[in-house]
Amino acid sequence: MTEEKNEKRNIELERRYYDLQILGEQINELQKQSEEISSKIYEVTSAISAIGELGRGKEAEETFFPIAGGIYARGRITDSENLLLNAGADIVVERKASDVVEMLQHQLSELKKYNEEILAQIEQFSNAAAQTEQELRRMLKENPAKKKE
C-alpha cells in the first residue's frame, strides 16, 4: 500500500471512529431523556391514582400531607371534588378533580408519545452505530496497518 493510500485509509478510519463516538454520545443523551420522561410518566400516573383514591375516601377523614423530604402534617380533606392547581407565579386556581384527571391523562398521553419517539431515535442511532462499527472492523481486516520498522 502506498503511503498516500495508507494516509487516506487512516483518515477514513479516524472519521468512522469519530462518527461512532458521536453516535454513542447521542444514544447516551437520548437514554437520559427517556429516563427523565419515564420518571415523569410515573409521577403523572401516581397523581391520577391519588386523585382517584381521594374521591373514594371519606371527607373530613384525617390524613397526612407531605411537606418535604419525609416531613408530613396531619390534616383533614374537606372537599375531594375540587382541587387547587398551581398555575404559576404564586397563582392557584380551583378545578374539578375530574378536570384535573383529564388534564393529567392528556399530559400522560403526550409524555408516552414523546418517549416512543425518543426510543425510536435510540434504535435508529444504535443501528447506525452497529453499521459504522462493522465498517470499521471490515476496514481493519482488509488492510491492517503495517508497523514501521
Look at 56 and 37; give whichever has higher pLDDT: 37
- Residue identified by cell 398521553 is 109
Provide the whole-model pTM. 0.76
pLDDT at 42 over 70: yes
CATH number of 3-142: 1.10.287.370
67's CB contacts (< 8 A; 6+ apart) are 73
pLDDT at 49 over 50: yes
pLDDT tens string 62-116: 888 889 888 999 988 888 889 999 988 989 999 999 999 999 999 999 999 999 9
Question: Per the structure block, which three cell numbers stand in for 149?
Answer: 520498522
Domain ranges of the chain: 3-142
Banded pLDDT at 143 (limits 50, 70, 90): low
**pLDDT at residue 149, as a whole number:** 43
51 burial level (CB within 10 Å; 0-12, 13-18, 19+)? middle
Q: Return d(Cα 77, Cα 132) in angstroms, integer.
A: 59
119's CB contacts (< 8 A; 6+ apart) are 34
| DSSP-assigned letter for residue 68 | E
Report the mean per-residue pLDDT for the chain.
89
Neighbours of 111 (CB within 10 A): 19
Question: Per the structure block, which three cell numbers stand in for 72?
Answer: 408530613
Look at 144 and 50; give whichever has higher pLDDT: 50
CB 118 within 8 A of CB 30: yes
- Residue identified by cell 407531605 is 66
